[in-house]
Amino acid sequence: MPAESRPSWARSRSQEDADRAARGCSTVISAMSGFGPRSGSSPDRVDLAGNRNLLLASRRSGTEHFIMVSMHGAAENHPLELARLKYEFERELMSAPLAWTIVRPTVLTETFAAVIGAPMRKSGVALIFGDGQQKINFVSVHDVAAVLVLAVADPALRGKAIDMGGPENLTMNQFVAALRSRYGSSGATVHIPCAVLRMVTSWPALAPDSVRRTVESALHLADTGHSLDALPARDAVPDVPLTTVSQAFALL
């Protein structure tokens, strides 16, 4: 991290905290999210309201450049709430009176490696939602971090939304096999049928909202996949590495 950069810790729902975090910053990078059962919050409170607070704070403090980590495929009519809220804030940021850059990563390699790898390393069991046959594009957090650093320094990336994918489209079965190879793990791979996932999403009483949102996301990937030809979008950032899944695993 450059010497003049600093991380700031703040409660996303607090405008006072956001004002303090943005004070004196020429560039603000927001990678906040309320998604997931361990987030302690929700996408509407963090990905939308929290980003709104931070954007207002950035405008008040005279910030020149706001960089947002969104998600690939964010759209008004996306089936996932998170993607719809990311899109809503993207529109607000694009119309704000300051420079902006939006980075839209696909599925993060290291996130899934942690989710699948923790039980695998403990018991040898790997859980896969659905049959694991849909192709998914995985991008490493190292690549995403590199493009964020570049966006801070390169004025040519201002006013641009960058679709950030990785070099590989793998099935979840292939992903798990590569992760087993990395850890030298053997054991059962359990496929949870999509019908079970639909039951959880259809009956709110079965799980808290945070878990339901996670299951909805897993069901979306299991049903439709998320493949991408990432190379054309990488033309805008040719110096950013193209980290394969195996290379990312080696860095875990």
Report whether pLDDT(187) > 60. yes
State yes or no: pLDDT of 25 exceeds 80.
yes
pLDDT of residue 6: 66
The 3-class SS string of 136-161 reads EEEECHHHHHHHHHHHHHCHHHCCEE
Range among 112-116, 169-173, 236-240 rated most confident: 169-173
Task: Name all domains of the chain by residue range, CATH numbers in brackets.
Answer: 10-105 (3.40.50.720), 107-140+166-228+241-252 (3.90.25.10)
pLDDT tier, 200 (very low <50, low <70, confident <90, very high otherwise): confident
pLDDT tens-digit map of 202-225: 887 777 888 889 889 999 999 988
Please give the average per-residue pLDDT across 27-44, as a whole number: 86
Average pLDDT (186-201) is 90
Q: Is the pLDDT of residue 239 over 60?
A: yes
Percent of the chain residues past pLDDT 90, beyond the cut: 75
Average pLDDT on 66-77 reads 97
- What pTM value is reported for the model? 0.92
Q: Which helix (H) or strand (E) holds 49?
A: helix 49-61
- The interaxial angle of helices 81-94 and 49-61, nearest 10 deg, is 20
Quickly count helices (H) and strands (E) in the chain: 10, 9
Give CA–CA dist 222/37, Å, rounded. 19
In 3D, which of 33, 34, 35 has the Cα closest to residue 216?
35
- CB of 239 within 8 A of CB of 153? no
Report the DSSP pairing between strands 189-192 and 126-129. parallel
Give the H/E segment covering residue 198.
Answer: helix 194-202
Quote the pLDDT of residue 66: 98
